[in-house]
Amino acid sequence: MTASGAHTAGQGLKTELISAIPSLRAFAVSICGNSDRADDLVQETLVKAWGSLASFSEGTNLTAWLFTILRNIYYSEFRKRRREAPDPDGAMAARLVAPESQHAHMDFLDFRDALQKLPLDQREALILVAASGMSYEEAAEICGCAPGTMKSRVNRARNRLSELMSAPPAAERREWSSAEQLTEASRD
């Protein structure tokens, strides 16, 4: 399949893109913890993917390719936000915790709160492997790390999640200021 195949392959790829959207949305919302933002991420991903369909090699995993694009967008937004709102302690930079997610959806289940408190690298590892069903190898490829690293991130994420979920009630945590939350998040 060549780049000029974009015309003829367009229809088929469109159908495939559509069938990948549910997984893409699930990945996005699990990773950012906010459904509106998740759908914006999905939208950007689809636009970007469509623009670079020529670089997609037919026969490989379309969903994994889309996840990679979405992840890159999320990370670059994350870095951008960090530049715009400097973090004096470096706590956020160190832990890569999405700062606004705790405030945006206070009605979220405790589990979701806990998930959003995980460092981003651990959170995405856990979501890719334990929720989306990727193998360690596939997840490692998406995140650009070794399968062994992926495995240890998943393990650390699970341990941290168990700790977080057996921690003091969520109501108590919600009264903390954002700065305190970040400090807390960095102290594991």
Residue 65 CB, nearest approach to another protein (Å): 10
Per CB under 8 A, does 146 bind another protein?
no
Q: Which of 10, 90, 144, 148 binds another protein (CB under 8 A)?
A: 10
Site track 32-71 with another protein (rule: CB under 8 A), x = hit = -------x--xxx-xxx-xx-------xxxxxx-------
Is position 88 an interface residue for another protein (rule: CB under 8 A)? no
Interface pick for another protein out of 37, 136, 142, 173 (rule CB under 8 A): 136
Name the one residue in this structure whose structure tokens are 């470096």. 90
Nearest residue (CB) to another protein, 44 versus 87: 44
- Out of 14, 79, 103, 174, the only residue in the binding site for another protein (CB under 8 A) is 14
What's the rounded Cα separation, in Å, for the pair 168 and 69? 37
Residue 180: CB minimum distance to another protein, A: 25
Cβ distance 185 to 117 under 8 Å?
yes
CA distances from 109 to 26, 99, 117, 148, 180 (A): 16, 17, 13, 31, 21
Least separation in angstroms between residue 117's CB and another protein is 14
Neighbours of 147 (CB within 10 A): 14
Residue pointed to by tokens 């026969």: 59
User: Are 54 and 6 contacting, i.e. CB atoms less than 8 angstroms apart?
Assistant: yes
Say whether residue 106 binds another protein (CB under 8 A). no
Concatenated DSSP letters of 111-132: HHHHHHHS-HHHHHHHIIIIIS
Give CA separation, 42 vs 19, 23, 100, 135, in Å. 13, 10, 19, 22
Near another protein by CB under 8 A: residue from 81, 105, 156, 158: 158
Applying CB under 8 A, which residues contact another protein?
A: 6-7, 10-11, 14-23, 25-27, 29-30, 39, 42-44, 46-48, 50-51, 59-64, 111-112, 115, 126-127, 129-136, 138, 158, 161-162, 165
